[in-house]
């Protein structure tokens, strides 16, 4: 093997080895790969959006959950009855759902809602959030971030609808009612 590269002169080799030669910069990415230029839309966050005249509601914003029986749980905002807002959404979306509302002007409110899944877990441990993960190698149940022993058959049954390996997250809504999200792993 020769000491020099075939088509490289001595001064080119010395410059390269001494770090004096700039490396070629990669081509800039095309502008259509930038966010907002590629034409792909964002995933839909809300299943229903409605505006409604709702006099008598205090405050400017509210977050609430409507349970399967139609009762309204206010999470944030006014202690006033939000039933008018819930009734407006129910023309498009049946309970259960999570909604947020914001006053637009005067008594005009905008309401957005998305479907949720609600399970009754009467045997759930004390806590606000439960995570269950099932894989071929492991079964992990945690409450409020702390791993516990045992099982919750209702959550396991819900997870199994996703497949053999799954994750289920549940957040307490009221007493033994929990909002549940499950996905396959």
In a domain, 5, yes or no: no
Number of domains within the chain: 2
Structure tokens, 35 = 């966010």
- Using CB atoms within 10 Å of the CB of residue 24, give its burial: 0 to 12 exposed, 13 to 18 middle, 19+ buried: exposed
The whole-model pTM stands at 0.72
Nearest 5°: the CA angle 39, 45, 47 is 115
* Domain boundary residue, one of 70, 85, 115: 115
pLDDT band at 166 (very low <50, low <70, confident <90, very high): very high
Task: Mention every residue, 6+ apart, whose C-beta is less than 8 A from residue 3.
Answer: none
Instruction: Give me the domain span that covers residue 89.
Output: 48-115
Instruction: Answer yes or no: do 104 and 128 share one domain.
Output: no
In this structure, are 129 and 173 located in the same domain? yes
List pLDDT tens digits, range 76-118: 987 788 999 999 999 899 999 999 999 999 999 999 999 999 9
Residues 108 and 123 in one domain: no
Say if 8 falls within a structural domain.
no
Strands (E), the chain: 48-53, 61-66, 72-77, 97-105, 108-115, 117-120, 129-134, 139-143, 146-148, 166-174, 177-184
Same-domain check for residues 166 and 108: no
Check whether residue 83 and residue 107 sit in a common domain: yes
């Amino acid at each position: 093997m020769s000491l020099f590269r075939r088509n490289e002169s001595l001064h080119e080799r010395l410059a390269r080895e001494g770090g004096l030669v700039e490396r070629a910069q990669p081509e800039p990415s095309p502008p259509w790969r930038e966010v907002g230029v590629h034409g792909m839309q964002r995933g839909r966050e809300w299943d229903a959006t409605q505006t409604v005249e709702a006099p008598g509601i205090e405050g400017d914003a509210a977050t609430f959950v409507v349970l399967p029986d139609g009762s309204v749980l206010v999470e944030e905002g006014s202690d006033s009855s939000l039933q008018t807002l819930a009734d407006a959404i129910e023309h498009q979306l049946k309970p259960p759902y999570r909604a947020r509302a914001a006053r637009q002007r005067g008594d005009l409110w905008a309401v957005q809602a998305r479907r949720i899944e609600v399970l009754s877990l009467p045997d759930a441990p004390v806590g606000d959030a439960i995570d269950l993960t099932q894989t071929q190698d492991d079964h992990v149940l945690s409450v409020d971030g702390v791993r516990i022993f045992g099982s919750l058959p209702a959550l396991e049954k819900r997870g199994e609808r996703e497949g053999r390996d799954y994750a289920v997250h549940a957040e307490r809504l009221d007493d033994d009612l929990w909002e549940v999200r499950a996905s396959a792993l």
